Structure 1
Amino acid sequence: MKALSKIAAASVFAATTAIGAMSATAADTTLTISSWGPPTHGINSKMWPKFTEMVEQATDGRVTTDLKLNLAPPPAQFDMIQDGAADLSIIFHGYQPGRFTAQKLIELPGYEGSAEAASVADWRAYEKYLQQADEHRGVKLIALHTHGPAQVYTINPVESLDQINGLKLRVPGGVGSDVGTALGATGIQVPAPKVYETLASKAADGVVMPMESRKGFKLTEVAPYTYEMPGGFYRGSFAFIMNEDAFNSLPPDVQKALEENVFGEPLSRAIGQIWDEIDAEGRQATMDTAGNKIVEASDADKAAYKPIADEVTAKVIEEVAATGVDAQAAHDFIAETMRTYGN
């Protein structure tokens, strides 16, 4: 089994936190969630509790969860779930370059809409186009979602697009890294939980992340300057995944209840809604923190970014098409779904 011994050994020394998600009454099954990031981050304080609420409601309390943090670093979560070291986790697709190529389509700049709209569009695009790439093989995919538009946060002021050229920026992988390269930045890849440390030590000049990170990862303390491109530079994609044996061991009626009421679009939509909430909280934290400043891109910078975004988009569509997916059709489907979402 992949890296099981390493994960088990690491878990002995890791800071493992259990957040109360147990049902008030005894459940037949308790699923172990492995997650990462601080306990106060919206993923752990809001998304997993919402998931648990939906699961308990759908199963009449027969299934609940136990949330544990830092059992393994973010890039190891997929293999950890595949190996059965935990039952559920959240993964960021960009942390494993080359593994989730089709998911780069939802990360592209230029889409209009919220994280909720993007998350629903991603799931629908997965069902219609992307699942043939079979990129989540080995685990059960139970939801897809994105964060909100990603912006640039820096230690020193950035007030124009050309000032990004030459900066050393933490990038996440996926389209975020593609955009960083196209803008002339030197990319540094570290997982989100290491961003504060990276900036505090001045190992990077800044970071490209969603607005929620201003609060969730305390970037207001180490990167006070925000350079904001309307619509964002990209939006990163995530998946909620489950161990296949853990799902198959559930009674058939429980499996049916989860498939019909929780997994797929319902959970993707709910998580997307939460990301919109925490993005708003991050923006408010920025506005409320002394010394923090938000600069919106000028009309000239917006015009200058468009051909850069178009070039990144063309390259990603070509890359995804090589997997056998009808990438242009999937891209157009995502754009239209987001544009008309809620109408």
Structure 2
Amino acid sequence: MKHFLKLTTAAAIVLGTSISAMAEEITLTISSWAPPTHGINAEMWPGLSEMISQATDGKVKTELKLGLAPPPAQMDLVMDGAADMTIIFHGYQPGRFTGTKLAELPGFEGNAEAASVAYWRVHEKFLAQLDEHKGVKLMGLTTHGPGQIHSNKDIKTLADLDGLKTRLGGGVSGDVGAALGLVGIRVPAPKVYETLASGAADAVAMPMESRKGFKLTEVAANVLEMPGGYYRGSFAFLMSQEKFDSLPADIQKALEEKVFGEPASRMLGQKWDMVDAIGRDASVEAGNTITMASDADIAAYKPIAAAVTEKVLGELSAKGVDAQAAYDMMKAETAK
């Protein structure tokens, strides 16, 4: 009888431990709008999920879900509690974000990793005061690599861009497109392939990663590459504030200290650089034409970039930001 009681007690302890472990495990739902094989889903979310798992000793897991809402609705989706985490491209919501345009300006040195780390540091010092991500927990900020012009028509010079029907993502890419004489077309990134394939657009402004991620090698065989890019794109990785507040205190502390902020931003930038290289390799393999802008076109683009920069800094100043100091810091940090 005593032996039976010992076994029963041992079984109860094991069962109790199992139930406790199950209770401690937390699963966060990720909403993503990019294609399944795009670098955001294939590299960035897995990278961030691994950081979260390691920081919490495996107590926090993630589950990726696609197609819950269109790209512009992602932040509201998380605020409404339909998902716990998401990624947003700031340019999809004109007027909602102004400070984020600083990181998108042309002329910054450095790759996506350098730009993303610089972006987070500038955000903390200058941009956080704008509270443009109010209602959500900001996990990380990142910029994609240099944005280039990809076309289904032969483009060799800046003059070839004038009048070209071009998908522009918003933000600084829209300002740059207008200055270059492009006829802007607004569609979300997942619709770019069919927009180009149908002839509704002749070109698109995107980073090199999109040649693989959005299959531009098939519908935009030509690239006019500007050293450093015509612009960059600003993204935020977000968590529901309500969900974060509901997490145990030790989990919150681990995420704040080991994941959120600069660590996440650096990792995301590294992933953008990696998928940029993959996109370039895919272009070479497909026999696409990548034309580097001539010295004359590089010189011609400088006053355009300067005018766009002046416009954006004016917008930031109107919001009460020391725009010149923020810009100078961004420039210095990316060049490190």
Task: Bin the TM-score by the shorter chain.
Answer: over 0.9
Q: Which residue of 1 aligns with 2:302?
A: 306
Segments of 5+ residues of structure 1 without an aligned counterpart are 1-24
TM-score, with length taken from structure 2: 0.93
Compute the displacement of 1:319 (Å): 0.6
Query: Which of residues 233, 253, 274 is equivalent to 1:236?
Result: 233
Of the three residues 309, 317, 337, the one matched with 2:333 is 337
Match in the other structure for 2:197: 200
Q: Deviations over 1:290-338 (max 9, x none)?
A: 3x10001000000000000000000000011111111111010000001
Q: Following the alignment from structure 1 to structure 2, what is the Cα–Cα distance between the partners of residues 277 and 45?
A: 12
Query: Which of 114, 130, 135 is residue 111 of structure 2 equivalent to?
Result: 114
Is 2:182 the partner of 1:185? yes
Q: Does 1:271 align with 2:288?
A: no
Shift of 1:162: 1.0
Partner of 1:34: 31
Residue of structure 1 equivalent to 2:18: none
Greater Cα radius of gyration, structure 1 or 2: 2
1:295 aligns with 2:262: no
Deviation at 1:242, TM superposition (A): 0.6
How many angstroms apart in 1 are the aligned matches of 2:187 and 2:61? Answer: 32
2:58 paired residue among 53, 56, 61: 61
Q: Flag structure 2 segments of 5+ consecutive residues without an equivalent.
A: 1-20
Take 2:76 and 2:321, find their aligned partners in 1: how far apart are those partners? 25
- The total of aligned residue pairs comes to 315
Counterpart Cα distance in 2 of 1:32 and 1:326: 37
* 1:4 alignment counterpart: none
Tell me, what secondary structure is at the counterpart of 2:154?
A: coil
Instruction: Tell me which residue corresponds to 1:126.
Output: 123
Please give the alpha-carbon distance, in whole angstroms, between the structure 2 residues aligned to 1:325 and 1:331: 10
TM-score, scaled to structure 1? 0.91
**2:247 paired residue number:** 250
- Partner Cα distance (1:166, 1:48) in 2: 37
RMSD: 0.9
SS in 2 for 1:245: helix
* Identical amino acids, percent of aligned pairs: 64
Once the two structures are TM-superposed, the CA of residue 161 in structure 1 deviates from its matched residue by 0.5
For residues 93-125 of structure 1, what are the alpha-carbon distances to aligned partners after superposition, in whole Å with 9 as ceiling and x for unaligned?
Answer: 000001110000000000000000010011000
**Aligned counterpart in structure 1 of residue 151 of structure 2, from 151, 154, 175:** 154
Deviation at 1:138, TM superposition (A): 1.1
Which stretches of structure 1, 4 residues or more, deviate above 2 A after TM superposition? none
| 3-state SS, counterpart of residue 99 of structure 2 | coil
Larger fraction in helix: 2
Q: For residues 212 and 255 of structure 1, what CA distance do their matches in structure 2 show?
A: 33
